[in-house]
Amino acid sequence: MITMEAKSKAPERNIYAMALEQLDHVAKVMHLDPNIHEYLKYPKRELTVSIPVRMDDGTLKVFTGYRVQHNQALGPSKGGLRFHPDVTLDEVRALAMWMTWKCSVVGLPYGGAKGGVIVDSKKMSKGELERLTRRFTAEINFMIGPEKDIPAPDVYTDAQVMAWIMDTYSMEKGYSVPGVVTGKPICIGGSQGRREATARGALYTMQEACKHLKMNLKGSKAIVQGFGNAGSIAAKLLSDEGVVVVGVSDSSGGIYNEKGLNVDEVIKIKGETGSVMHYSNASKVDRREILLQPCDILVPAAYENQIDEEYARKIHAKIIAEAANGPTTPEADRILHERGVFLIPDILANAGGVTVSYFEWVQDIQALFWSENEINNKLKEIMTRAFANVLKVSLDRKIDMRTAAYVVGVGRVAEALTIRGIYP
């Protein structure tokens, strides 16, 4: 008998190897210069640090942290920072590489970076978390900055963590530097619309996909796997557009009702209890099995490697919008494409977050801030243009949307590297 815990666990797979496999595939498709291909396989810079933290009980614990900068051909590197017990250096390398392509595909003047600390932050007090964050910032201080590398929130980090990073960096500089991070509280230089940006950007790509497929978004049925910031807001935005959200899940499990969930109520219950499983008017489903329930639109917004070959053969959705990074394996990609599932790849679907982070960075540098309406309009313009560019490549070359997105993203970075040349 398979327990729920065993069923829920995604297949083990090295995601850096997966990222390299995706790069190898697109290099063949676009006949990429072998020298440029070789260059792009490796991070530009990576750092591993020890982070000693005085705990509340007086003991000292040492945590391990990473910061990886994959590429800076288009500009300073940009990428989130995650606090999670399962963080690995290869995971951070892969996420940094994906950030390079993500920034490129939507036309941002950034390269990719990522950071991570191996820690179960849920078990830490606020004071311990602050001391961890500030010491980690001090250790990577020389690598980051508005002109070098700009961190942002990711898994189990938030605006408060970004505020501590900004303050620590600023204290060492001797003056306030709001542009060192994005995703900050608005009162210290954060941007309107940043919290909703990843989900809102994904919504814009789903709208464009529905137009292309001549499918009505309103009245369609959607499932969202993962009910953190991106997933819960995506569910809310879809519901507001008239989509019937029939299933959601979090780390505890999933809930499904073919007639639809009351998304506002689910969000309220999640906030009060910490889990969607306390919502009563729905069937309980395994957190990965939620991916296989009947729907028109599927939004993976959890972790990597959730959709493998087995799941790809069973998914009912017509559209998959990857709000998470790397939720689909290359083998599953091929199966979904053969089955005619329209997949909006992560480097396009969830690029709304880094796009509004870019807006925040620009606003900090100018000390001139925009309204939320201006932010959302600019975001929609960039996301719809990027979707159109990728769709055109997909149709012209007769290739799947992920490969098309990589052709656009890798192509722009390769062009920049070719023009800049190799130093010395």
In a 10 Å sphere around its CB, with 0-12 CB exposed, 13-18 middle and 19+ buried, how is residue 407 labelled? buried
- DSSP annotation of 174: T
pLDDT digits (tens, 9 = 90+) for 204-230: 999 999 999 999 999 999 999 999 999
- DSSP annotation of 214: T
Question: Which residues are annotated as catalytic?
Answer: 114
Sign of CA dihedral 290, 296, 298, 299: negative
pLDDT digits (tens, 9 = 90+) for 143-156: 999 999 999 999 89
Query: In the prediction, which pLDDT does 7 show?
Result: 44
**Residue 4: pLDDT above 90?**
no
pLDDT digits (tens, 9 = 90+) for 296-345: 999 999 988 999 999 999 999 999 999 999 999 999 999 999 999 999 99
Cβ 372 vs Cβ 193: under 8 Å = yes
**Three-class SS state of 225:** strand
Strands 45-54 and 60-69: antiparallel
**Residue 102: pLDDT above 70?**
yes
With a threshold of 0.85, does the pTM exceed it?
A: yes
* Distance (Å, whole) CA 237 – CA 200: 7
DSSP codes of every residue in 13-57: --HHHHHHHHHHHHHHHTT--HHHHHHHTS-SEEEEEEEEEE-TT
pLDDT digits (tens, 9 = 90+) for 379-408: 999 999 999 999 999 999 999 999 999 999
**Residue 9: pLDDT above 80?**
no
Cis status of the peptide bond prior to 34, with omega within 30 of 0: no
Cβ 142 vs Cβ 392: under 8 Å = no
* Distance (Å, whole) CA 233 – CA 163: 22
Q: Measuring CA to CA, which residue among 352, 368, 351 is closest to residue 189?
A: 368
Average pLDDT over residues 44-55: 98
pLDDT digits (tens, 9 = 90+) for 347-382: 999 999 999 999 999 999 999 999 999 999 999 999
**Three-class SS state of 95:** helix
Q: Which residue(s) pair with 77 in the sheet? A: 111, 149
Domains of the chain, CATH where assigned: 42-188 (3.40.50.10860), 197-349 (3.40.50.720)
Phi-psi sector, 96: left (phi>0), alpha (psi -120 to 50), beta? alpha
Percent of the chain with pLDDT over 70: 97
Ranges assigned E (strand) in 37-166: 45-54, 60-69, 77-84, 111-118, 149-153
pLDDT digits (tens, 9 = 90+) for 152-188: 999 899 999 999 999 999 999 999 999 999 999 999 9
What is the pLDDT confidence band of residue 1, given thresholds at 50, 70 and 90?
very low
Q: Average pLDDT over the chain, rounded to whole? A: 95
pLDDT digits (tens, 9 = 90+) for 266-291: 999 999 999 999 999 999 999 999 99
